Every structure is written in structure tokens, then in C-alpha cells.
């Protein structure tokens, strides 16, 4: 299959380059890193072994890229207003679009932009950071969950999952609502708090007061998930996620954005799930307060992409 990747940050760069390294045809849309990658290649320092790729098919103009069988959207949701111009040239009648993005409600909004498009949620659990132009450091995790939103092409989804597995990416096909909410419960508890407390993930659970705060937010997220239809998510998920958080010594994506003065992903990570929960009769006051704290910070951040 022919793949396209929109966004060469930590997520798009890692998973896309894994596919390319395994022999798949992958076309990348890059902007700020385009000239560096063309001249110096794309470097990944991974716990699975480092690799440097000089032959990636990289573009700085989406209109020069071919239409593809699968398009991976890996840019931040704060940039989704650009999707009508970035995604349309890459589509053909049966293109599958995988949204490797954070949050709740992302697929619904993209489906409204592109009626009839086949969408899959790509939920990544990975410790990978961009350390410079065309350079990533992959420190841990890396497994990927693919969840069908409205695509319906099971054979193609199975083939994509197999391509990722062949590329050394542990990949599973999972239920949509449960997959989206499981990751967002983790994100809602850790992303905003690493900004609020100016700390790393593992530091959130290293003291009793912060651990109590994390657990309260996770339990509210679990209640919201069940109210919104993800009934298989149980209370035990909080302990599982706290254990994972304790092993994760890195800043969240929201903390990265905060530190670099970039827009934070408040809309889909907090505002939309909170609104969905309220719509289903579930109030989550601690998460609402954290959302308000983040919205108070947001006007001081840079605008744009």
C-alpha cells in the first residue's frame, strides 16, 4: 500500500519512518524540517536500535504528493483547521485516513469536513520526543491501537495493522470508544497537571498529594467514559495508568507545547470530553476546574501553528 504522513513530529516521524524502514512506500509532508531532512536525512535514536534514513520521500508542498491508500494525520489537533487544504490532495475514492491525534471528538469533526471519508483512530502509547530538526529520540513504549470509526473496510485495516507489526510496531485493532477514552483518561490526568505543577509525568505520582490529585482526575475520566458509552472501562484502569505514569520520566505533549509557547490541545483533550460527559448527565468538576486553569493560561501562548 501507498502511505502518506502529514506531520513529522515525534508521532508521525516515528511511525512513518518505521513503515518506510520496513520497505513500505511512504510520502511525508514536512515544513520547517524539509531542507534539513533532504540534506542530512531523518535520524531516530530508538531503544530498538538507532537508524538514519537518507532516502525518505519528503515534500514541502502537499500538492506535489500522490494520492495514497492510507493517510496518517499526525499533526496536533490545534492545526486541524488546515486539514481541508492538506488532506484533500492526498485522497482517492477508497483512502483510509488514520487520525493519530489526541482527544475525544476528533473523528466526528473531520468526518464533517469530509463527508464519506473512511476514518480510523490511531492511538499511540509512546515515549518519543523531537530533539532537533529531523531528529527523534524514542525512549520507550511504542505500541499502537487502531480503532475503526466509520471506515468499515476490515480487510484493509487488518493489512495496515500487519504493515505496522512488520515495521516493529506492536499493533492491535481495538473498539473505538474504549480506545479513545482509555488514552484520554491518561491525557486528562497527566497533561494538564504537568503544566500546572511544572513537572515530569513520574513526579505526579511521587508524592501523596499529587498522586491523590491524579487519581481523582482519572476516576472522573473513567466515570465520563462509561457515561458516554465506553462501558467496558473499569475502575481498575486508574491503577494501571498510575503504574505506567510512575515509569514515565518525560514531559507530556502539552507540557512541551507550554514550554515552547505553542497552542495547547485543550479543545479535544478537555473541553470536548467534558461537554460530552455533561451531555450524558455526568459532571466531572475536578476536570472542569483543570480545563479552566488551562484556558486561563492559553491566551498567553503563541497563536497559529
Q: Give the separation between CA 75 and CA 220, rounded to whole angstroms.
A: 28
Query: Catalytic pick from 139, 183, 196, 247?
Result: 183
Decide: helix, strand or coil at residue 79. helix
**Long-range Cβ contacts of 184-187 (<8 Å, 24+ apart):** 184/102, 184/103, 184/104, 184/221, 184/225, 184/269, 184/273, 185/218, 185/221, 185/222, 185/225, 185/233, 185/237, 185/241, 186/218, 186/241, 186/244, 186/245, 187/102, 187/103, 187/252, 187/254, 187/269
Measured over the CA atoms of residue 34, residue 301, residue 130 and residue 5, the dihedral's sign is negative
Decide: helix, strand or coil at residue 113. helix
Q: Is 302 a catalytic residue?
A: no
Q: Give the separation between CA 190 and CA 61, rounded to whole angstroms.
A: 35
Task: Please tell me the chain's helix, strand, coil percentages from 3-state DSSP, rounded to the nearest 5.
Answer: 50, 20, 30
Q: CB 67: neighbour CB atoms within 10 A?
A: 15
- Residues belonging to the active site: 183
Amino acid at each position: 500500500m501507498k502511505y502518506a504522513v502529514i506531520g513529522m513530529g515525534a508521532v508521525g516521524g516515528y511511525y512513518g519512518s518505521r513503515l518506510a524502514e520496513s520497505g513500505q512506500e511512504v510520502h511525508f509532508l514536512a515544513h520547517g524540517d524539509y531542507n534539513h531532512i533532504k540534506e542530512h536525512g531523518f535520524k531516530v535514536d530508538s531503544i530498538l536500535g538507532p537508524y538514519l534514513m537518507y532516502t525518505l520521500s519528503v515534500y514541502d508542498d502537499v500538492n506535489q504528493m500522490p494520492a495514497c491508500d492510507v493517510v496518517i494525520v499526525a499533526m496536533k489537533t490545534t492545526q486541524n483547521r488546515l486539514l481541508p487544504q492538506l488532506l484533500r490532495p492526498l485522497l482517492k475514492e477508497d483512502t483510509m485516513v488514520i487520525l493519530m491525534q489526541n482527544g475525544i471528538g476528533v473523528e466526528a469533526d473531520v468526518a464533517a469536513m469530509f463527508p464519506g471519508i473512511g476514518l480510523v483512530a490511531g492511538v499511540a502509547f509512546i515515549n518519543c520526543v523531537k530533539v532537533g530538526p529531523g531528529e527523534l529520540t524514542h525512549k520507550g513504549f511504542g505500541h499502537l491501537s487502531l480503532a475503526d470509526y466509520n471506515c468499515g473496510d476490515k480487510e484493509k485495516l487488518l493489512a495496515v495493522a500487519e504493515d505496522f507489526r512488520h515495521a516493529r510496531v506492536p499493533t492491535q485493532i481495538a473498539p473505538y470508544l474504549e480506545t479513545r477514552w482509555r488514552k484520554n483518561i491518561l491525557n486528562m490526568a497527566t497533561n494538564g497537571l504537568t503544566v500546572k505543577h511544572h513537572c515530569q509525568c513520574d513526579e505526579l505520582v511521587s508524592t501523596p498529594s499529587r498522586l491523590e490529585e491524579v487519581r481523582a482526575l482519572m476516576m472522573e475520566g473513567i466515570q465520563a467514559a462509561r457515561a458516554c458509552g465506553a462501558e467496558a472501562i473499569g475502575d481498575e484502569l486508574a491503577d494501571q495508568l498510575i503504574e505506567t505514569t510512575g515509569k514515565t520520566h518525560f514531559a507530556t505533549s502539552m507540557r512541551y507545547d507550554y514550554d515552547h509557547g505553542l497552542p495547547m490541545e485543550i479543545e479535544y483533550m478537555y473541553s470536548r470530553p467534558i461537554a460530552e460527559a455533561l451531555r450524558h448527565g455526568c459532571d466531572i468538576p475536578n476536570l472542569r476546574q483543570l480545563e479552566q486553569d488551562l484556558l486561563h493560561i492559553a491566551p498567553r501562548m503563541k497563536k497559529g501553528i
